Amino acid sequence: MALSKFERLLDQAIRAEKGGETPLSHWRDFFMRLRSAADDEPVRDEEIASHLTAAFDREFRRASKQHCGIPAFTIERLKPAMRSKLDERIVQAADLIKLRRRESIENTLARFAGWSSSLPEMRKRIDLREVREHIYKPIAQIKYERRRVAIDQTHKLVASIHEVIADEGGAVAMIWRSNWRQVNYNYRVDHKERDGKVWILPNTWATRAGLIRRSSPRYDTITHVAEEPYCRCYATWLYALDEIPAEMLTAKGVSYARQMEAAA
């Protein structure tokens, strides 16, 4: 909304400047109006808010797939408390977009200033369409950026939901899942290497009871899934010791796992 007003004002400016020279004081005033047109935007980004809310509900519906052995009611019970995480993400996403937008607007104004300070004779010769395209480029970029921010914030929200479920449910380890097989997915090589591997969660009932070997790979020594920008990795959370490779368990842990298996 506000952006279209900005675009209208800028369009006027480009036209006026094409016609002849405008005093510098005029542009200072004009830039101020442009900036305030751009600042005049809603605090909450409704589109992103509904995108994140939909992801939140979807994730709770199918969360049990990533948490084998956790009763559905345990997961459902956590939902109300997690709403605050959703609200935090919505605010954070809107702030990020606002920052990017401001940056793009400043870039556009700098391009305009550069063009309008060129010699009038030169300015008349350049095609107006080309000028407009060049000046608008940072702004055109915003739509794309906004989509990226929405996607990234969704992954971060989803990851934090699962971490809370895992924590509350008493998970002892996780398996890293990477989408590296997906066509055109620009994966991180070190995340591809983590794919399918088991990582032990620190400070759980199993570590405290001395069931896990100290040398086992630990999740707190690496970045978490979806932590790095645009990372789309995810986790499968493990709750039972017999799902963990035996070499990661102590002798006590191995016999504990056997007992559990026999009881099941």
Region for residue 210 given its phi and psi (left: phi exceeds 0; alpha: psi -120 to 50; beta: otherwise): left
Distance of alpha carbon 181 from alpha carbon 185, whole angstroms: 8
Phi, psi values for residue 177, rounded to 5°: -120, 125
Which position among 34, 231, 238, 248 is part of the footprint of Zn ion (CB under 5 A)? Answer: 231
Answer yes or no whether residue 224 interacts with Zn ion by CB under 5 A: no
Select 166 or 257, whichever has its Cβ closest to Zn ion.
Answer: 166
Cα angle 133, 138, 143 (rounded to 5 degrees) comes to: 105
Q: Provide the pairing of β-strand 234-238 with 198-200.
A: unpaired
Minimum separation from the CB atom of position 171 to Zn ion (A): 19
Answer yes or no whether residue 233 interacts with Zn ion by CB under 5 A: yes
Exposed/middle/buried for residue 250 (C-beta within 10 Å: 0-12, 13-18, 19+): middle
Minimum separation from the CB atom of position 109 to Zn ion (A): 36
Select 36 or 182, whichever has its Cβ closest to Zn ion.
Answer: 182
Select 51 or 156, whichever has its Cβ closest to Zn ion.
Answer: 156
Considering only residues 84 to 103 of the shown chain, the ones binding Zn ion according to CB under 5 A are none
Minimum separation from the CB atom of position 231 to Zn ion (A): 3
Q: What does the per-residue mask of binding to Zn ion show for 187-206, with x meaning CB under 5 A?
A: ----x---------------
Distance of alpha carbon 177 from alpha carbon 158, whole angstroms: 14
Which residues of this protein are in contact with Zn ion, per CB under 5 A? 191, 231, 233
